[in-house]
């Protein structure tokens, strides 16, 4: 135990291995549950303090955060920082992300920035804390040292994180101290999640009866023997930093190693498959009663409680037993895990695999050109439309006139082919009763309708049959100007261990929409660029690359429209040719291994009129 004063910041581990801080309000809420001891049930429902965190519950026994709708399980920790640092003053440093919202820096990074700010340094290089960024305080901007891309940053005042004084434990454990356990019980939360969690734990602690569960208030909370002591309740909380930027002096004495000592991710004295005893009459009775529960009784109780979950609208979470691979589906999410764990049965909640978006760092000397592919980049400029031909002249190349049309519908205007066209738009210079047949696919339409359809499209000299999607001529798109880079890197993709990797980098800046775009003259955004994509350096992978180059030149890779993921309009979006943007995983479906991807993308390119013959046409 180390004597010190510190602020407590609760943090969670993201998929990139970074500890991300909860907000001060959420940390205060978690800390209040910790200090309440066993009477609080050992579970923290984060939605009670922040509605955006409604799906999340923290289990203090396992020090894990559960996401109820997806089953994601992430470690959490209770970390300590110097009271004179940013979290002790309520200072939060944030950067602006691509959708215009603000994201807080990791706590270590925020503390480093605040320290430089207080010293009135003009800028701070974040290389020392593992990030290739420079923060310029004069412009309040973040500059990427490699790409020189800039983002806005801001310094915001928030609540001060909770303060502790006295003895800081080397490792966090649960339940809390006997003193806190013996204190009068606080009124229990009445939300469905808390009632369910508490009632299930009460049933197990009382002997595992499958009958009606007692409400949490009916339980008697006695601490188990040997429970580790937590820090005493905090003293007066320091006020936030005022608007003049006044800085408090450091608290003395506080050893630096004591301030940064963090709680263990696993409770002290708890081992996998043999957790600490739950609360009972004497610390042993509970263990004896639980020992009488077999797997069948626990499963029966879990299924009964699952009905409560489903009826109350709480999503379920998959739980996997270590002795088998089948998920316990209708039920109970983390609660089944808590029940089985409490009875000494081995259980583990499924952990999400790690997302690997990018390859390991590659030096310039390791980047090579791709054999058989000329150059290492392509640029596109504004639209190069074919001019000098009217729509009627263009369509004449692809149509044969039909003198005696069949008695069926034109699938464009839905009028009979034997009657005039029902299209009521701009008047083409052809008669509305003329009928034509497309030369390759044989589908028949009013020529009046085909001319109107062409006028409403890209007007690039090509035509696509509205029924079978056969393309006549060379189809081009409306992709805005940008750059496509491609090269070899010396790493292998999952599922392709015997070859290197082709990396493609797309760069498109924001700009103003042209006449071919949805809203001419209006600005468009370009989120997430540069975008990195990956192909195996195999024979088929190089074939796909060559066809992607044709698609890029024809402006078919991207378009301007509404994002299906964010809902943002007037932004650059993918255009029906799927790319792999995950290098070392396939969590989102946009990574490897994927045995069918190369064949699928060849089919998608073919649907855009791009095949092996297209590469010859481009050369001609």
What backbone phi and psi angles, to 5 degrees, belong to 159?
-60, 150
Mean pLDDT of 402-427: 86
Q: How far is C-alpha 557 from the geometric centre of its chain's CA atoms?
A: 23
Mean pLDDT of 452-461: 83
Mean pLDDT of 451-475: 87
Residue 186 has pLDDT above 50, yes or no: no
CB pairs under 8 A, 24+ apart, for 465-469? 465/438, 465/441, 466/411, 466/412, 467/411, 467/441, 467/443, 468/441, 468/443, 469/607
Q: Please write the tens of the pLDDT for every residue from 308-346.
A: 444 444 444 444 443 443 444 434 445 555 555 555 554
Question: What's the mean pLDDT when you consider all of the chain?
Answer: 74
Q: Please write the tens of the pLDDT for every residue from 116-158.
A: 999 999 999 998 888 889 999 999 999 988 888 889 999 999 9
**Distance (Å, rounded) from C-alpha 90 to C-alpha 510?**
36
Confidence band (pLDDT; 50, 70, 90) for 198?
A: low
Rg over alpha carbons for the chain, rounded to the nearest Å, is 32
CB contact at 8 A, 432 and 420: yes
Cα separations in angstroms, 339 against 226, 294, 300, 344, 581: 22, 11, 11, 9, 40
**Distance (Å, rounded) from C-alpha 144 to C-alpha 66?**
34
Mean pLDDT of 358-362: 91
Confidence band (pLDDT; 50, 70, 90) for 199?
A: low
Cα separations in angstroms, 58 against 62, 77, 474, 577: 9, 11, 57, 40
3 state DSSP class of 159: coil
Give pTM, 2 decimals: 0.47
Residue 459 has pLDDT above 60, yes or no: yes
Which of 449, 416, 451, 421 shows the shortest CA–CA distance to 433? Answer: 421
Residue found under tokens 């915001």: 156
Residues 6+ apart with CB under 8 A from 234: 162, 163, 164, 165
Residue 555 has pLDDT above 80, yes or no: yes
What backbone phi and psi angles, to 5 degrees, belong to 103?
-120, 130
119 versus 42: which is more confidently predicted? 119
């Amino acid at each position: 135990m180390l004597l010190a004063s510190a602020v407590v910041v609760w943090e969670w581990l993201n998929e990139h291995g970074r500890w991300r801080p909860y907000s001060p309000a959420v940390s205060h809420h978690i800390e209040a549950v910790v200090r309440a001891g066993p009477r609080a049930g050992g579970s923290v429902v984060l939605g009670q303090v922040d509605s955006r965190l409604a799906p999340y519950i923290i289990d203090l026994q396992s020090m894990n955060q559960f996401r109820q709708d997806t089953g994601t399980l992430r470690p959490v920790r209770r970390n300590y920082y110097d009271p004179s640092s940013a979290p002790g003053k309520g200072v939060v440093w944030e950067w602006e992300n691509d959708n215009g919202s603000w994201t807080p820096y990791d706590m270590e990074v925020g503390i480093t920035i605040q320290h430089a700010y207080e010293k009135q340094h003009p800028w701070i290089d974040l290389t020392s804390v593992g990030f290739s960024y420079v923060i310029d305080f004069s412009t309040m901007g973040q500059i990427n040292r490699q790409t020189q891309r800039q983002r806005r940053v801001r310094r915001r005042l928030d609540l001060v994180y909770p303060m502790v004084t006295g003895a800081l434990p080397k490792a966090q454990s649960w339940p809390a101290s006997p003193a806190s356990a013996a204190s009068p019980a606080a009124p229990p939360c009445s939300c469905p999640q808390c009632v369910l969690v508490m009632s299930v734990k009460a049933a197990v602690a009382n002997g595992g009866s499958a009958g009606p569960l007692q409400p949490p208030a009916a339980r008697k909370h006695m601490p188990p023997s040997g429970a580790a002591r937590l820090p005493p309740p905090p003293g007066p909380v320091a006020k936030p930093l005022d608007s003049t930027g006044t800085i408090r002096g450091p608290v003395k004495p506080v050893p630096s190693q004591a301030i940064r000592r963090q709680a263990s991710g696993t409770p002290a004295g708890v081992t996998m498959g043999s957790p600490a005893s739950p609360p009972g009459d004497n610390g042993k009775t509970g263990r004896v009663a639980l020992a009488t529960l077999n797997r069948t009784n626990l499963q029966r109780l879990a299924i009964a409680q699952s009905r409560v979950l489903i009826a109350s609208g709480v999503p379920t979470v998959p739980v996997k037993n270590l002795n088998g691979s089948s998920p316990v589906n209708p039920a109970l999410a983390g609660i089944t895990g808590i029940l089985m764990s409490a009875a000494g049965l081995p259980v583990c909640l499924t952990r999400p695999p790690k997302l690997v978006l990018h390859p390991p760092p590659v030096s310039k000397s390791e980047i090579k050109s791709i054999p058989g592919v000329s150059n290492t980049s392509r640029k596109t400029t504004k639209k190069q439309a074919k001019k000098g031909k009217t729509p009627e002249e263009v369509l004449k190349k692809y149509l044969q006139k039909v003198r005696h049309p069949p008695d069926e519908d034109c699938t464009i205007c839905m009028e009979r082919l034997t009657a005039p066209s029902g299209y009521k738009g701009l008047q083409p210079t052809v008669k509305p009763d003329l009928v034509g047949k497309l030369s390759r696919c044989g589908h028949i339409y009013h020529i009046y309708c085909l001319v109107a359809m062409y006028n409403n499209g890209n007007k690039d000299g090509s035509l696509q049959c509205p029924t079978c999607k056969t393309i006549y001529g060379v189809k081009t798109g409306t992709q805005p100007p940008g750059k496509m880079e491609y090269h070899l890197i010396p790493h292998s993709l999952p599922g392709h261990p015997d070859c290197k990797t082709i990396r493609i980098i797309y760069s498109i800046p924001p700009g103003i929409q042209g006449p071919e775009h949805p809203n001419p003259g209006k600005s468009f955004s370009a989120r997430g660029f540069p975008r990195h994509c990956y192909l195996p350096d195999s024979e088929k992978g190089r074939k796909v690359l060559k066809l992607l180059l044709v698609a890029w030149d024809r402006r078919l890779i991207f378009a301007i429209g509404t994002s299906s993921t964010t809902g943002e309009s007037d932004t650059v979006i993918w255009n029906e040719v799927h790319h792999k943007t995950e290098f070392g995983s396939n969590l989102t479906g946009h990574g490897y291994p994927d045995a069918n991807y190369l064949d699928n993308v060849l089919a998608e390119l073919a649907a855009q009129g791009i095949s092996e013959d297209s590469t010859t046409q481009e050369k001609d």
